[in-house]
Structure 1
Amino acid sequence: MSQTQWPNPLIEQRADPYIYRHFDGYYYFTASVPEYDRLEIRRSATLGGLSHAEPAVVWHKHQHGEMSALIWAPELHFIDKKWYLYFAAAHSPEIVDGLFQHRMFVLECADGNPLTGTWIEKGRIRTPLDTFSLDATHFFHQGRHYYVWAQNDPDIRGNSNLYLAEMATPWSLKTPPSMLSKPELPWETNGFWVNEGPAVLRHGQRLFITYSASATDANYCIGLLWADINDDITDPRAWHKLPQPVFRTHWQNRQFGPGHNSFTLSENGEDVLVYHARSYTEITGDPLYDPNRHTRIKVFHWDEEGMPRFGEPPADHA
């Protein structure tokens, strides 16, 4: 299937999209819902089929406590023969000292089908800082499990930096966090100073981490870090940041604030960028509560130096 056969948007009103292609042949999709009150999963035998697949609600937010508000950015991972849902939640929607109050949590399912299986709360994933944290992802590299996420450090200007640590279990860390990136460049500090939404990609002799930066309006964009696959990836010095964003607003195509991406493969083995974006800039109130950050996908390619070339976000089409 070529990208011209995928509708754009692929799925409406689903932000922070994550698509995982499992060895059972299915594509699994998770994302933030506009109500921020539940976790849902949908699956399809084809990538395009996700657009009309029926979502299964597998978890609802609590009435009170630390998982009772603003359920954000779920990701579905398959680790050691079990399913895991990573997500962020807060105990209140209130903003305190300029920040939401999210922490990171994980659910586990030992059944074969995560849409119908039993999900168990494994609790909060704790880091040395008890601060605003979110957007966790997992990857396996050189025989070890790693966790990458965004978190605030009160001693560093901005909302969130990117951190990496090796995992002891799918719900706990083994090593101290390493800060890989902080918002410091002009395109990372528009509206808000933000590095968030990390996604991991391998190609050739490099490991890549994309991330999203700036406010969640038209300023939102995607940056790129890379490291050599043989380097110690827990050493921040192994990582290189590109000086310009690799995917950003395209005014002529009416695509604004593309970001919070993930990666998958098409049925033909093409590399696919998964992201959300709006088709307008006129937002009433807080952009966070505008529901029209739609899920979109596009094929991307690699240059002769082995670097990803994401191109530009294509215009809406049926």
Structure 2
Amino acid sequence: MTNLPEFKNPIVEQRADPWIYKHTDGYYYFTASVPEYDRLDVRRAQTIQGLADAPAVTVWRKPDHGPLSNLIWAPELHYINEKWYIYFAAADVPEPVNGTFNHRMYVLETDASNPLEGQWVEKGQIITEWESFALDATTFQHNGTLYYVWAQRDYDIPGNSNLYISEMENPWTLKGKQTMLTKPELDWEVIGFLVNEGPAVLKRNGKIFITYSASATDENYCMGLLTADENSDLLDVNSWHKSPQPVFTSAAENGQYGPGHNSFTRTEDDQHDVLVYHGRNYTEITGDPLYDPNRHTRAQVITWNEDGTPNFGKPVPDAGFVRS
């Protein structure tokens, strides 16, 4: 396939865990983790590339104390039943507890037509079957049911986080059983840390795809893929196939390292799916990679294999990149 749209990467600098939502009003809405981990910013533009220069509006800022007072991570902006919701994770302390950070998942709501201008209401914590490190929630609707997919630690399973799915009673409440979809077990999922996190949902070609990210947040960070038939029971783990190999990894030849924690959107003409992700253009990191601010937001068009599965290719070079 030729003449696919291309983007000048990075789209937005120093924004990790990027989320871009294309709304019916003709705008792309963008949110992501900020380097300070202290607030939720939203911006909008009529093109994906235009998000680079769009003003960021702070719609919520963490309090000084309490359960939402530290490490605001991985927000997502969703439009459900004519209201906007921001899903995000926050911790009560800035350091790990029992080997992992102490995050829980929370949601904000506004009924404003423009979420940059809305009054946001805290709807509280998303309660799961047990209390432990939990983050990276996303939602999607299918056949009239609202689903929630997230990462959480089970202390009976080695590692930092597994991926789970549940139905939702409403945009801030789970109902029924929760099913573990995947745990870090393959060699590329357990480098540095045992991690499955950052799920994102794409529905195409009679299938439901869930991408996720694995391993430590350095150059070993990469993306995996789960696939289910659209008519299957999505709460049955046997409905899902886990790809044995990662589907998106570092590409040293293009100067791209640790791509992951993605989302999906569509091109302006609605003809192509777009992979939105973060990555770095270097590997030399001082200290904990979580506190290196240069995970930039990037985007590239997805192609499709003959069997109807997505082909993410390799992370494309940044604008001006010269191969050494």
- TM category, shorter: over 0.9
Q: CA deviation at 1:2?
A: 5.2
Give the AA of the match of 2:286. T
- SS of 1:176 mapped into structure 2: strand
Distance 1:146 1:14 in 2: 26
- SS of 1:252 mapped into structure 2: helix
Paired residues for 1:252-263 under 5 Å: 252-263=253-264
- SS of 1:243 mapped into structure 2: coil
Distance 2:51 2:4 in 1: 15
Paired residues for 1:98-109 under 5 Å: 98-109=99-110
Distance 1:254 1:46 in 2: 25
Give the AA of the match of 2:178. P
Distance 2:99 2:249 in 1: 25
- SS of 1:174 mapped into structure 2: strand
**Paired residue for 2:43?**
42
Paired residues for 1:188-203 under 5 Å: 188-203=189-204
Gaps of 5+ in 2: none
- SS of 1:129 mapped into structure 2: coil
Distance 1:98 1:285 in 2: 17
Distance 2:248 2:179 in 1: 25
**Paired residue for 2:120?**
119
Q: CA deviation at 1:268?
A: 2.2
Q: CA deviation at 1:3?
A: 3.8
Q: CA deviation at 1:161?
A: 0.2
- SS of 2:26 mapped into structure 1: coil
**Paired residue for 2:284?**
282
Give the AA of the match of 1:34. P
CA-to-partner distance for each residue in 1:178-221, whole Å, 9 max, x for gaps? 00000000000000000000000011111000000000000000
Distance 1:93 1:240 in 2: 36
**Paired residue for 1:14?**
15
Gaps of 5+ in 1: none
Distance 1:170 1:257 in 2: 31
Q: CA deviation at 1:315?
A: 1.1
Paired residues for 1:52-71 under 5 Å: 52-71=53-72
TM-score (norm 2): 0.97
Distance 2:279 2:112 in 1: 34
**Paired residue for 2:274?**
272
CA-to-partner distance for each residue in 1:71-120, whole Å, 9 max, x for gaps? 00000000001000000000011112210000000000011110011000
Runs of 4+ in 1 over 6 A off after TM superposition: none
Distance 2:305 2:221 in 1: 24
Distance 2:189 2:4 in 1: 32
Distance 2:95 2:206 in 1: 44
How large is the Cα RMSD of the aligned pairs?
Answer: 0.9
Distance 2:282 2:130 in 1: 37
- SS of 1:105 mapped into structure 2: strand
Distance 1:83 1:242 in 2: 33
Q: CA deviation at 1:16?
A: 0.1
Give the AA of the match of 2:269. N
Distance 1:89 1:149 in 2: 14
Give the AA of the match of 1:90. A
**Paired residue for 2:162?**
161
- Over the matched positions of the two proteins, sequence identity in percent amounts to 62
